[in-house]
Amino acid sequence: MITAKIPSTAVARPVATGCGSKTSLASSMGRPMTGAIQDGVTRPMTAVRAAGFTKAALRGSAFDPLGQSRGPAPPLEARNEDSPEEKIRQLEKKVNELVEESCIANSCGDLKLALEKAKDAGRKERVLVRQREQVTSPENINLDLTYSVLFNLASQYSANEMYPEALNTYQVIVKNKMFSNAGRLKVNMGNIYLKQRNYSKAIKFYRMALDQIPSVHKEMRIKIMQNIGVTFIKTGQYSDAINSFEHIMSVAPNLKAGFNLILSYFAVGDREKMKKAFQKLIAVPLETDEDGKYISPNDDPHTNLVIEAIKNDHLRQMERERKAMAEKYIMTAAKLIAPVIETSFAVGYDWCVEVVKASQYVELANDLEINKAIMYLRQKDFNQAVETLKMFEKKDSSVKSAAATNLSFLYYLENEFSQASSYADLAVNSDRYNPSALTNKGNTVFANGDYEKAAEFYKEALRNDSSCTEALYNIGLTCKKLNRLDEALDCFLKLHAILRNSAQVLYQIANIYELMEDPNQAMEWLMQLISVVPTDSRALSKLGGLYDSEGDKSQAFQYYYESYRYFPSNIEVIEWLGAYYIDTQFCEKAIQYFERASLIQPTQVKWQLMVASCFRRSGNYQKALDTYKDIHRKFPENVECLRFLVRLCTDIGLKEVQEYATKLKRLEKMKEIREQRTKSGRDGSGGPRGRRDGSAGSDGGQNCGAGSRGERLSAQLRALPRTEEPYDSSSNKELDASYVDPLGPQIERPRTAAKKRVDEDDFADEELGDDLLPE
| Tens digit of each residue's pLDDT (9 = 90 or more) over 72-101 | 767 766 666 677 788 888 888 999 999 999
Angle, helices 605-617 vs 621-634, to 10°: value is 170
Alpha-carbon span 424 to 409, nearest angstrom = 8
**Low-confidence winner among 373-377, 540-544, 574-578 (lowest mean pLDDT):** 373-377
| Strand 41-42 relative to strand 37-38, pairing | antiparallel
Helix pair angle (435-447, 417-430), 10° resolution: 150
Q: Which residues pair with 38 in a beta bridge?
A: 41
Closest CA to 756 of 361, 397, 405: 405
Residue 191 has what DSSP assignment?
A: H
Please give the sequence-ordered ranges of beta strands (E in DSSP) within 417-554, or none if there are none.
none
**What percent of the chain lies above the pLDDT cut of 90?**
36
CATH of the domain at 648: 1.25.40.10
Helix (H/G/I), strand (E/B), else coil: 290 = coil
Residue where a domain terminates, one of 499, 522, 538: 499
For residue range 436-458, list pLDDT tens digits in order: 999 999 999 999 899 999 999 99
pLDDT at 633: 85
Phi-psi sector, 371: left (phi>0), alpha (psi -120 to 50), beta = alpha
For the chain, percent of residues with pLDDT exceeding 70: 75
Please report the sign of the dihedral spanned by the C-alpha atoms of residue 625, residue 626, residue 627, residue 632: positive
Handedness of CA 694, 698, 704, 708 (dihedral sign): negative
Strand partners, 26: 32
pLDDT value at residue 373: 81
Instruction: Indicate whether 243 pLDDT > 70.
Output: yes
Task: Give the pLDDT band (50/70/90) at residue 288.
Answer: confident
Identify the CA nearest to 188 among candidates 216, 222, 227: 227
Distances from the Cα of 514 to the Cα of 485, 543, 580, angstroms:
11, 11, 24
Q: How far apart are CA 558 and CA 563, in angstroms?
A: 9
What span, in angstroms and rounded, lies between the C-alpha atoms of 223 and 246? Answer: 13
Residue 239 included in any domain: no
Beta strands in 485-561 (DSSP E): none
φ/ψ (deg, to 5) at 37: -105, 125
For the ranges 113-122, 363-372, 592-601, 701-710, the lowest mean pLDDT is seen at 701-710
User: Which DSSP state fits 13?
Assistant: P
Residues 6 or more apart whose Cβ sits within 8 Å of residue 45: 34, 35
Q: Name every residue whose Cβ is closer than 8 Å to that of residue 659 and which is 6 or more positions away in sequence.
A: none
Sign of CA dihedral 688, 689, 690, 691: positive
- Which residues constitute the domain of residue 633? 600-676
Task: Look at residues 383, 384, 380, 392 and name the one whose alpha carbon lies nearest to residue 346.
Answer: 384
CA 112 – CA 444 distance, rounded (Å): 55
Neighbours of 101 (CB within 10 A): 17
Please tell me the predicted confidence (pLDDT) of residue 50.
56
For the segment 652-679, the average pLDDT, to the nearest whole number, is 81
Q: From 622, 642, 676, give the residue that closes a domain.
A: 676
Average pLDDT (190-210) is 93
Per-chain mean pLDDT for the chain:
78
pLDDT of the residue at 37: 56
Give the C-alpha distances (Å, rounded to integers) separating 25 from 13, 17, 28, 41, 567: 8, 15, 10, 14, 122
Number of domains making up the chain: 2
Domain assignment of residue 610, yes or no: yes
Average pLDDT over residues 504-521: 93
Q: How many other C-beta atoms lie within 10 A of the C-beta of residue 198?
A: 15
Question: For 687-746, what is each residue's pLDDT tens digit?
Answer: 444 443 433 333 333 333 334 434 444 444 444 433 333 323 333 333 232 223 333 333
- For 38, the enclosing helix (H) or strand (E) is strand 37-38
Q: Which residues pair with 41 in a beta bridge?
A: 38
Average pLDDT (238-265) is: 92
Kindly give the residue spans of alpha helices, DSSP state H, lying in 364-450.
364-378, 382-390, 397-413, 417-430, 435-447
CA atoms of 264 and 267, how far apart (whole Å): 5
Does the pLDDT value for residue 663 go beyond 60? yes
Please state, in angstroms and rounded to a whole number, the distance separating the CA atoms of residues 303 and 93: 48
Q: Are 333 and 262 in contact (CB under 8 A)?
A: yes
Are residues 503 and 534 in contact, defined by beta-carbon separation less than 8 angstroms?
no
Give the whole-angstrom CA distance, residue 411 versus residue 444: 10
Least confident of 46-60, 76-90, 460-474, 712-726: 712-726
* Mean pLDDT on 8-29: 44
Nearest-angstrom CA–CA distance, 717 and 709 = 12
Check residue 733 and give its pLDDT.
32
- Between CA 367 and CA 619 the distance in angstroms is 72
Residues in the chain: 775
- pTM of the entire structure? 0.56
218: how many CB neighbours lie within 10 A of its CB? 12
Q: What is the mean pLDDT of residues 225-231?
A: 94
Q: Give the separation between CA 218 and CA 215, rounded to whole angstroms.
A: 6
Decide which of 616, 648, 676 is a domain's last residue. 676
DSSP annotation of 41 reads E
pLDDT in tens, 385-433: 787 777 776 666 667 777 888 888 888 888 888 888 888 888 888 888 8
pLDDT value at residue 624: 86
Is 279 in contact with 355 (CB distance < 8 Å)?
yes
**pLDDT at residue 227 in the model:** 94
Checking if the pLDDT of 552 tops 50, the result is: yes
Q: What is the CA radius of gyration of the chain?
A: 46
Question: How much of the chain is in helix, strand and coil states, percent to nearest 5?
Answer: 65, 0, 30
Residue 381 lies in a domain: no
End-to-end CA distance of the chain: 111
- In sign, the C-alpha dihedral spanning 372, 377, 380, 383 is positive
DSSP 18: S
Taking alpha carbons only, the member of 529, 579, 522 closest to residue 553 is 579
d(CA 333, CA 338): 8
Residue 615 lies inside a defined structural domain of this protein:
yes
Tell me the torsion sign for CA atoms 219, 220, 226, 230. Answer: positive
Would 539 be classed as within a structural domain? no
560 and 544 Cβ atoms separated by less than 8 Å: yes
Using alpha carbons, select from 480, 485, 474, 492 the residue that is nearest to residue 516.
Answer: 485
pLDDT confidence of residue 723: 31
How far apart are the C-alpha atoms of 626 and 271, rounded to whole Å?
A: 70
